[in-house]
Structure 1
């Protein structure tokens, strides 16, 4: 709700503010989830934000998913529902409220899963929407354009597409407590999924409990994990800049007839 309130404030403060539309996903994995989602929609509308509820069924196309997989299955279905809703409403930027505590959980989960190196940068600030590959208009498609600067003047412009939905995480630098304090100071009611407190439900819940109760060594606590994530992200950006620099210096010839590139 902190992100929604900030969006509402932005719309009220600026005449040139974009219009924000909220999507509330009901996974229907626990009793009372639909009623809670309806209450969230009502709260968002009180903030002056157009809101829609999206119901997903994570068992569709699966054989009763095991509890240990429910989080990843729910995530995929959630992003697919959000991506399709964005496309239907002409939206190409999806803001999500992941915060620093979420980032620390992600990095620690990747350490536990033995994903080292670049994987430890955690969630990126801006990224094409995940789990939507092949969905037209959602995954890097939907906006036709012409290829720029063909290598040979006699070659026709090639019809290609880009576009799709980008996920943006503007709150990654803020802790959960920062967002709670903001909501308290602005009298904004927020909602929490009660299953998040069940450490037996998912790995992330167990990791969240360990981090929030400072049960791990200092090097594996939230602040240090976020610093590690930022350092690796900075390193990756430096590598990408160097790669882009080298790329621009290379002579590249595109052969449209064969679909090949000569460097």
Structure 2
């Protein structure tokens, strides 16, 4: 039987910098295996150094040990340096009050940060594909997301330690499998990918096949939607920063003039003049309120932002009344994560009292 013709793997070459040392985050699955092979093949042309990074999560026992052995052999054959670390994700999840998914993600980021902080690599390349992007956008839509949420997986994530890059976002799952087949390259299957406990697996196994019946190119369509959403969000950012600088006032007014910035070290507070907010359109009001609270370390959802607008008398006229939201001056509204909104005759004040815990 003739060998399959070699096919190329679509990936974003512009994310790579000449002279950069890049570690490919590998699990042994098809996507990360394909990315490692593709970057290794073109490393000389791109002028980059390639290594691989693998984190054992302490979740799948002997199956995970098999993945590790597969990756050791692959990296040895490719003559690629291999960085490995182990962590007990279930124990971390229990200790930090996180889900397994949250704890695993945080553990991976800590591992990547260490590699970059120690100067071993400059960047980490993760193997997120077009299919991953489409699933992410659908999950955000289901939960209810703002524009930045619909932006899904960003091609680049800047961290204090370095960059996380996602060069494989242009490639579909079919592209990945065709590439691996053309090189007679095997990969490992993660048994947890079949578990319906995880939302992403249910989206991947049930929702996406249904959507493809309506649009066979749904992956590319949702990926394009994500790109548009990221562009829209980026366009708003400098405008909101400018308006915040002009409109936000620290703390609250005090008798005799001036403003009190905080009543305790744990309290943060800012205020807006209601009349100046009233002169802005609704999308700008929403973004200003969200940006002000985000600077305090909390991200507001759409419903919470609407409740603040209702308290301030700035919600759209067609908004149904909410008996839990007061609408008269000198009222206050308690929200999640220690955030409180207060309305006076002239101002909307946003306060956060920190409890010292993480906010998500």
TM-score under structure 1 length normalisation: 0.70
In structure 2, distance between residues paired with 1:72 and 1:113: 17
Gaps of 5+ in 1: 130-139, 141-163, 248-263
Give the alignment partner of residue 4 of structure 1, picking from 33, 36, 42. Answer: 36
Superposition pairs of residues 1-263 of structure 1, within 5 angstroms: 1-11=33-43, 13-14=44-45, 17-31=47-61, 32-63=63-94, 69-129=99-159, 140=160, 164-199=161-196, 201-214=197-210, 218=214, 221-240=218-237, 243=239
Residues 155 and 165, structure 2, Cα contact 8 Å, conserved in 1 = yes
Moved over 3 A (4+): 59-62, 215-221, 237-240
* SS, match of residue 189 in structure 1: coil
CA–CA distance in structure 2, aligned partners of residues 34 and 95 of structure 1:
23
Q: CA-to-partner distance for each residue in 1:55-106, whole Å, 9 max, x for gaps?
A: 121134443788x921121111111112212323432211111000111111
Instruction: Name the residue aligned to 2:312.
Output: none
Q: Are the aligned partners of 2:56 and 2:86 in contact in 1 as well (CA < 8 Å)?
A: yes
Q: CA deviation at 1:172?
A: 0.6
Contact 1:100/1:171, CA 8 A, preserved across alignment:
yes
Aligned residues: 210
- Residue aligned with 2:114, SS: helix
Tell me how far apart the structure 1 counterparts of residues 92 and 134 of structure 2 sit (CA, whole Å).
Answer: 32
State how far apart, in whole Å, the 1-side matches of 2:212 and 2:129 are: 20
**Are the equivalent residues in 2 in contact too, given 1:214–1:221 (CA < 8 A)?**
no
Q: Matched residue of 1:59: which SS? A: helix
**1:198–1:205 Cα contact (<8 Å) kept:** yes
Q: Give the aligned partner of residue 344 of structure 2.
A: none
Identify the residue that residue 316 of structure 2 maps to in structure 1: none
- List per-residue Cα deviations over 1:164-216 (Å, max 9, x = no partner): 221000111111111111111122222231211222x2111111112442357
More divergent stretch after superposition (181-190 vs 53-62): 53-62
Q: What's the secondary structure of 2:88's corresponding residue?
A: coil
CA displacement at 1:20 relative to structure 2: 1.1
- CA offset at residue 238 of structure 1? 3.6
Render the CA deviation track for 1:21-57: whole Å, top value 9, x for unaligned: 1111211211321221221122122112111222121
So what's the TM-score if we normalise by structure 2?
0.52
* Cα contact 1:56–1:81 (8 A) shared by 2: no
Q: Is the 8 A contact 2:93 2:103 kept in 1?
A: no
Distance 1:216 1:177 in 2: 14
Aligned counterparts of 1:61 and 1:111: Cα–Cα separation in 2: 29
Q: Distance in 2 between matches of 1:100 and 1:22?
A: 22
CA distance in 1, matches of 2:163, 2:111: 14
In the alignment, is the contact (CA less than 8 A) between 1:95 and 1:170 conserved in 2? yes
